[in-house]
């Protein structure tokens, strides 16, 4: 994983705070994407920019994920049992800027 972690409640027992918060961010994100699938265009554009600016191993993984059918992308983003999904959520989410500040702050409050 790419980030340090610390235990925190009310995350489910055995789930680290960073993982729990990242999962919650991506659950809210999935709701936004379901409501407005056109937001995926921003995600793909960001991946294109990031790949050109500073190549990273995660870009190939994101390309593979984003090539999947839309419901599978959302399932990947929110799967609490998929280690690769957890790694991608914590290391290199391309979805920054999709959530509103209000949505972000709500998740932060929920996962303290």
Q: What is the pLDDT of residues 33-80, one digit of tens each?
A: 999 999 999 999 999 999 999 988 999 999 999 999 999 999 999 999
Residue 2 included in any domain: no
Query: Is 5's pLDDT higher than 50?
Result: no
Residue 9 included in any domain: no
Number of domains the chain contains:
1
Where residue 96 falls among pLDDT bands split at 50, 70, 90?
Answer: confident
Where residue 15 falls among pLDDT bands split at 50, 70, 90?
Answer: low
Average pLDDT of the chain is 85
What is the C-alpha to C-alpha distance for residues 54 and 31, in angstroms, rounded to an integer? 29
Residue 64 included in any domain: yes
Residue 87 included in any domain: yes
Residue 93 included in any domain: yes
pLDDT at 16: 73
pLDDT at 92: 66
Domain extent for 75: 17-110
pTM value?
A: 0.80
Residue 12 included in any domain: no
Q: Who has greater pLDDT, 86 or 15?
A: 86
């Amino acid at each position: 994983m790419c980030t340090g972690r610390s235990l925190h409640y009310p995350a489910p027992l055995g789930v680290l705070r960073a993982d729990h918060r990242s999962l919650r961010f991506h659950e809210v994100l999935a709701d936004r994407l379901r409501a407005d699938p056109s937001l995926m265009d921003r995600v793909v554009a960001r991946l294109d920019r990031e790949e050109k600016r500073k190549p990273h191993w995660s870009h190939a993984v994101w390309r593979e994920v984003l090539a999947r059918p839309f419901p599978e992308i959302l399932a990947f983003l929110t799967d609490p049992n998929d280690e690769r999904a957890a790694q991608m959520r914590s290391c290199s989410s391309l979805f920054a800027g999709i959530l509103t500040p209000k949505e972000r702050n709500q998740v932060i409050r929920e996962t303290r």
